Amino acid sequence: MPFDQGGIKMKPLLQTVDLKKYFPQGKRILKAVDGISIEIKEGETLGLVGESGCGKSTLGRTILKLLRPDGGKIFFEGKDVTNLNDKEMKPYRKKMQIIFQDPLGSLNPQMTVGRIIEDPLIIHKIGTKKERRKRVEELLDMVGIGREFINSFPHEFSGGQQQRIGIARALALNPKFIVCDEPVSALDVSIQAQIIDLLEEIQQKMGISYLFIAHNLAVVEHISHKVAVMYLGKIVEYGDVDKIFLNPIHPYTRALLKSVPKIPWDGQKQRFYSLKGELPSPIDLPKGCRFQTRCTEKKAICFEKEPELTEVEKNHFVSCHLVRTYRG
């Protein structure tokens, strides 16, 4: 799904083509990631949004090959890494990292902060002990913890500070690409803003690319260059951030944006919008369009045929049979 960069051809740092990840559930199959094609360029952030259970985190882990893909391709720096074994993947592991949702749960409570951040360097046999110590101190300063806390333990820090430690660990190997798996969802709003600012500052300094997984649309709009909207294992809308937020076309995207609480300025009560119906089971997918069980604008074709992701305007792709009706 190539994006037009105004005549400038830029090869993506990360690209997936028809990527699939399925899980057997007895005699059925859970299609967590079902034919996803995305691309992320150097220094770019792709925001990935959707309800819980739609496959966002599974996609991130499959891209990193923490989960084995069941189909499709993963390209990194132009190299097909889909079928590389663990030994062959090791050089790429240094360049592809992850920041987890639960900062404390992802940090070993028996290790000092310094050892947690140093651990990837030890695993990859990088530097002498003195060089690694210097690198850890630099990272602690970079993320706003301070090198004086190098011998402290994770439980001595607040949630926001713990996430900064997780970010420092992810940066230890100078990666080019990081999956940010809901990195601020467990934090207070004021702390969320600080972590987002830190991630943006790091991106500007180091040119890192992010796959930023979140359910907070305001955060995604702020940090992302492009946005992909995911529903039941599929991308239903994908494009430049301004296209998605200013001209949402898919009924699901529009419903998500309408559900964001807004502060009323006219003194009236705040109105909330919520999607009708429950998210269908991913092991018992609806026939035709996967959103048809909750869509208020469905037509006969929506029950019969699954729509394809189609470019409706420059750098804006939508998977909906009624796309011409919504085109702005």
| CA dihedral sign of residues 224, 229, 235, 239 | negative
Within a domain: 4: no
Give the domain extent around 224.
14-95+175-262+271-326
Q: Number of folded domains in the chain?
A: 1
Q: Mean of the pLDDT values across residues 323-328?
A: 61
Q: 307: pLDDT confidence band, cut at 50, 70 and 90?
A: very high
Q: 276: pLDDT confidence band, cut at 50, 70 and 90?
A: confident
Within a domain: 137: no
Residues of the chain with pLDDT > 70: what percent? 91
Within a domain: 84: yes
Within a domain: 153: no
Q: Mean of the pLDDT values across residues 68-84?
A: 97
Given a cut of 70, is residue 261 above it in pLDDT? no
The CA–CA distances, whole Å, from 31 to 58, 130, 250, 262 equal: 10, 47, 21, 34
Within a domain: 131: no
Cα 261 from chain centre = 22
Give the pLDDT confidence score for residue 5 in this predicted structure: 56
Q: 281: pLDDT confidence band, cut at 50, 70 and 90?
A: confident
Comparing CA positions, the residue from 58, 49, 66, 51 lying closest to residue 31 is: 58
Give the pLDDT confidence score for residue 253 in this predicted structure: 96
Q: Mean of the pLDDT values across residues 222-251?
A: 97
Cα dihedral 239/240/245/250 (nearest 10): -10
Residue 279's domain is classified under what CATH number? 3.40.50.300
Within a domain: 57: yes
Within a domain: 128: no
Q: What is the pTM of this model?
A: 0.92
Within a domain: 244: yes
**How far, in Å, CA of 232 to CA of 58, rounded?**
12
DSSP bridge partners of 311: 317
